[in-house]
Amino acid sequence: MAPDLAAALVRWRRHLASERRLSDKTLDAYERDVRQFAAHLAMRDGDPPDLAAVRRLRPAELRGFMAERRAGGIGSRSLMRNLAGLRSALRFLEREGLADASALSAIRGPKIAKGLPKPVSAVAARRMTDPDLRAAEDRETWVLVRDAAVVALLYGCGLRISEALGIMAKDAPAPGRDSLTVIGKGRKTRMVPVLPQVAAAVQDYVKMCPWPLEPDGPLFRGAKGGPLSPRIIQLAVERLRGALGLPDSATPHALRHSFATHLLARGGELRAIQELLGHASLSTTQIYTEVDTSRLLAAYKAAHPRA
């Protein structure tokens, strides 16, 4: 792309990082979307696009890009993300007086089939936090206790796996400390309550961990003392899934779904669950009401003599 457009996009990324506080992965994805569109324009026009070319954008050009991406085999969710990246960049340039984003109003995003989260049952989720379930494995006891502590945080606090592994040693849940501050998507912080059972599981790991836990270092360590990889927890959950005979949908993130679904089933308020999960929009949390309703209907159809 031309230097004037490249410089404007550097300012756009800086804006997203500092003011919108988007994660590095989201920033990279958005920038990749815009560069792919720039490459599409360059292929069509024969010259790298500049700000003047962006100002001349028409809906047909955006549709052509989306059709090209679809022909390349990408799915609706990826195409929606492509469009979100372009929309963000064009609206930023419009606010800067450098472009016209009106072409976006004529573009409809692709339809995405909604799939409901698949939570783990409360009984299975509790059993997954028991290190004795994997006692037969040829692994050091502290490793099994560590994995159980991470799983306890995923289910007991509704954390994402990145949030659990991002906890610093100085912030480790401990008896008498009933809350935990976590850093979620976009580096946004939120406070979540910690059950005594979860704090006890984490402290069992802290006592057994053979590596020194520096206060400003990661709480959870790998076998060689470095930060624990999310892949290790994913593999641990796979083994737990096999031991309990659970379906493939029983992933670390499914434990977060379970946290929300079980709270809702026990009368938790939707707005409170939104805050606990760190969702920016209530509409994201509302999907759990559909999960709860679908489970009630399934139970009704299975039990009612006329169903």
Q: How far apart are CA 55 and CA 53, in angstroms?
A: 5
Look up residue 43 and give its two tokens. 């292929």
Residue 200 shares a structural domain with residue 60: no
* Crossing angle of the two packed helices 196-208 and 141-157, in degrees rounded to 10: 160
Residue 95 shares a structural domain with residue 187: no
Closest CA to 252 of 185, 131, 155: 155
Instruction: Answer whether residue 181 is part of any domain.
Output: yes
- In angstroms, what CA-CA distances link 162 with 184, 185, 194, 226? 8, 9, 17, 15
Does 146 qualify as catalytic in the annotation?
no
- Residue of 40, 81, 160, 262 marked active site: 160
- Choose one of 41, 76, 106: the last residue of a domain: 106
Instruction: Answer whether residue 28 is part of any domain.
Output: yes
- Choose one of 106, 138, 165: the last residue of a domain: 106
Integer-rounded Cα radius of gyration of the chain: 23
Does 205 qualify as catalytic in the annotation?
no
- Residue of 70, 91, 127, 253 marked active site: 253
Residue 132 shares a structural domain with residue 269: yes
Residue 139 shares a structural domain with residue 264: yes
Residue 143 shares a structural domain with residue 190: yes
Cβ atoms 292, 261 nearer than 8 A? yes
Does 190 qualify as catalytic in the annotation?
no
Cβ atoms 92, 12 nearer than 8 A? yes
Residue 101 shares a structural domain with residue 130: no
Residue 37 shares a structural domain with residue 75: yes
- Residue of 241, 256, 257, 262 marked active site: 256
Residue 97 shares a structural domain with residue 130: no
Element at 191 (helix H, strand E): strand 189-193
Domain containing 156 equals 122-302
Residue 101 shares a structural domain with residue 132: no
Does 185 qualify as catalytic in the annotation?
yes
Taking only the tens of pLDDT, the chain with its 307 residues reads 889 999 999 999 999 888 888 888 888 999 999 999 999 888 888 888 888 988 888 888 888 888 888 888 888 888 888 888 898 999 999 999 988 888 888 787 777 666 667 888 999 999 999 999 998 888 999 999 999 999 999 999 999 999 999 999 999 998 888 889 998 887 888 999 999 999 999 999 999 999 999 999 999 999 999 999 999 999 999 999 999 999 998 999 999 999 988 888 888 888 888 888 888 788 777 777 776 666 556 655 666 566 5
Torsion sign across C-alpha atoms 84, 88, 89, 90: positive
Residue 278 shares a structural domain with residue 170: yes
Burial of 203 (0-12, 13-18, 19+ CB in 10 A): middle
Closest CA to 12 of 1, 24, 27, 26: 27
pLDDT of residue 232: 95
Does 95 qualify as catalytic in the annotation?
no
Residue 132 shares a structural domain with residue 237: yes
pLDDT of residue 303: 63
Q: Facing residues of 221 across strands?
A: 227
- Residue of 70, 185, 190, 295 marked active site: 185
Tokens 């050091």 appear where? 140
Secondary structure (3-state) at 141: helix
- Choose one of 43, 78, 106: the last residue of a domain: 106
Q: Kindly report the number of other CB atoms within 10 A of residue 255's CB atom.
A: 28
Residue 87 shares a structural domain with residue 181: no
Give the total number of structural domains in the chain. Answer: 2
Instruction: Answer whether residue 112 is part of any domain.
Output: no
Q: How far apart are CA 260 and CA 284, in angstroms?
A: 12
pLDDT of residue 170: 93
DSSP 24-86: HHHHHHHHHHHHHHHHHHHHHHSS---HHHHHT--HHHHHHHHHHHHHTT--HHHHHHHHHHH
Q: Which residues contact 301 (CB under 8 A, 6 or more apart)?
A: 307
Look up residue 28 and give its two tokens. 């990279």
CATH number of the domain to which 29 belongs: 1.10.150
CATH number of the domain to which 160 belongs: 1.10.443.10
Element at 161 (helix H, strand E): helix 161-165
Does 301 qualify as catalytic in the annotation?
no
pTM of the entire predicted model: 0.68
